[in-house]
Amino acid sequence: MSTDVKLLFFAGSAREGSFNKRLARLGADIANANGIESTFVDLSDYPMPIYHGDLEVESGPPDNAKAFKELMQQHDGIFITCPEYNSSVTPLLKNTLDWVSRVRDETEAPLHVYKSRVFAIGGSSPGGFGAMRSLIDLRKILQLGLGAHVLPEQIAVPRAANAFDDNGHLEDKSLQELYKSVIQHLAYTAQALRR
Ligand SMILES: Cc1cc2nc3c(=O)[nH]c(=O)nc-3n(C[C@H](O)[C@H](O)[C@H](O)COP(=O)(O)O)c2cc1C
């Protein structure tokens, strides 16, 4: 695929052994191997306090929220992989999305960083549903809350403990092919909608 768009992959888990970080890393590797320039970023490198309105009034969004928004702006498409915590997204991911939504630039419309790029979502969990229920909430947050364009296709990787081989690839080759096709669609759509 010939494209000059850049994709960003990150997971809604900071855990060292996170399955969703593995999935996000794999996504960036698949993209790069297929000629789509991609970056994996670990939210561990962007710690932020839990959102608090008084804190925002006192000191504004944390520097890491500004830095993460800047990183998002440097990419045309964003792939988020998220675990399922009690049928929803992780507090880490929600907090990150919330803080970034509060970083405002006088010269741009609210939520511009979300509205001006394309997102794709995926998830993995040790159970049989592959974080499917968190993806329902994540889609709602991105689309209804933040005004983002989210691809209809998504990837859910169940039974995570046995889902990855020693090279970090998915054992289920049809799932790996599905992942590749979602990534290619993300790049294609980001290219088509680039503003
Ligand atoms: C607070 C909490 C709630 C969880 N709720 C769910 C759940 O609703 N469904 C599920 O499949 N797994 C659930 N899990 C298990 C996670 O899927 C599992 O810890 C997973 O490995 C987390 O993703 P990670 O490996 O990317 O960190 C929960 C874990 C925690 C800590």
Residue 143 maps to a domain? yes
Identify the CATH number of the domain in which residue 177 sits: 3.40.50.360
The residue with tokens 């994709």 is 7
What is the domain count for the chain?
Answer: 1
Strands (DSSP E) found in 42-126: 77-81, 118-124
Domain span at 87: 6-193
Going by C-alpha positions, the residue among 129, 32, 147 that lies closest to residue 83 is 129
Identify the pLDDT of residue 3.
Answer: 78
Residue 53 maps to a domain? yes
- Strand, helix or coil at 109? coil
The rounded average pLDDT for each run of 10 residues, N- to C-terminus, in the chain (195 residues) is 88 98 98 98 98 98 98 98 98 98 94 97 97 98 98 98 96 98 98 84
Identify the pLDDT of residue 138.
Answer: 98
Q: Compute how many other C-beta atoms are within 10 angstroms of the C-beta atom of residue 100.
A: 24
Residue 108 maps to a domain? yes
Identify the pLDDT of residue 154.
Answer: 98
Residue 1 maps to a domain? no
- Best residue for ligand 1 mutational test, from 10, 80, 85, 155 (most atoms within 8 Å of Cβ): 85
Residue 103 maps to a domain? yes
Residue 23 maps to a domain? yes
- Which residue's C-alpha comes closest to atom 14 of ligand 1? 85
CA dihedral 12, 18, 23, 26 (to 10 degrees): 120
Strand order across the 149-157 sheet: 37-41, 6-11, 77-81, 118-124, 149-157
For residue 52, the one-letter residue type is H
Residue 138 maps to a domain? yes
- Which residue's C-alpha comes closest to atom 28 of ligand 1? 85
Closest ligand 1 atom number to CA of residue 81 = 26
161 CA to middle of ligand 1, Å?
12
Identify the pLDDT of residue 194.
Answer: 81
Going by C-alpha positions, the residue among 12, 20, 8, 9 that lies closest to residue 163 is 20
Identify the pLDDT of residue 170.
Answer: 98
Regarding the beta carbon of 99 and ligand 1, being less than 6 Å apart is answered: no
Q: First CA to last CA across the chain, in angstroms? A: 20
d(CA 174, CA 176): 5
